[in-house]
């Protein structure tokens, strides 16, 4: 299981935390081309509509947008191309078994550097209903009001 992402986070998928309950998170490497890595270093990545699938024993991320590198030429790849994720086969098969359960999805949560390598944090997620989203927003608002009141009281 992956620990929290270090400070060198490139992109986060905040929409995933709004739309899903994150049950468990995993760390996976990602297979990128040279110009894609340069674009990732510039922070030109969007994880908003990305999801993961298991096909033929391999894990893939779809819908992740990496903008073309500006100084690149013919070597630039399609921004929305399917990219392979790197995990042990045993872990992939375990994820595949869990995804087959009704309502579970593999969603990219964050993209970050670990040393010189680009890593992707995946979440085993279950979709939220509208009433769950409203309850989360109400709880967040109440927490914010309490913190504001405490801060005002201390001053």
Render 106-136 in DSSP notation, one character per residue: EEEEEEEEETTEEEEEEEEEEEPPHHHHHHH
Q: What is the pLDDT of residues 56-107, one digit of tens each?
A: 989 999 999 888 888 877 777 777 889 999 999 999 988 888 888 777 889 9
Across the range 16-37, mean pLDDT stands at 87
Q: How far apart are CA 132 and CA 119, in angstroms?
A: 30
Q: Say whether 33 sits in a helix, a strand or coil.
A: coil
Contacts 24+ apart (CB under 8 A), 97-101: 98/124, 99/54, 99/124
Q: How far is CA 55 from the centre of its chain?
A: 19
Q: What is the pLDDT of residues 97-137, one digit of tens each?
A: 888 877 788 999 999 988 888 999 999 988 888 877 888 88
Are 122 and 143 in contact by the 8 Å Cβ rule? The answer is no
How sure is the predictor about 1, in pLDDT bands with cuts at 50, 70 and 90? very low
Strand partners, 127: 20
Q: Domains along the chain?
A: 9-128 (2.40.280.10)
Across the range 39-65, mean pLDDT stands at 89
DSSP state of 63: S
């Amino acid at each position: 299981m992956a620990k929290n992402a270090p400070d060198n986070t490139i992109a986060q998928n905040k929409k995933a935390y709004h739309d899903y309950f994150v049950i468990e998170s995993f760390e996976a490497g990602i297979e990128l081309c040279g110009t894609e890595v340069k674009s990732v270093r510039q922070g030109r990545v969007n994880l908003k509509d990305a999801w993961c699938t298991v096909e033929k024993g391999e894990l893939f991320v779809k819908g992740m947008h990496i903008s073309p590198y500006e100084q690149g030429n013919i070597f630039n790849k399609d921004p929305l191309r399917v990219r392979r994720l790197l995990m042990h086969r045993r872990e992939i098969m375990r994820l595949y078994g869990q995804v087959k359960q009704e309502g579970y999805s593999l969603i990219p949560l964050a993209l970050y550097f670990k040393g010189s390598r680009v890593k992707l944090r995946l979440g085993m997620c279950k979709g939220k209903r509208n009433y769950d989203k409203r309850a989360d927003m109400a709880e967040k608002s109440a927490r914010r009001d309490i913190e504001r009141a405490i801060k005002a009281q201390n001053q």
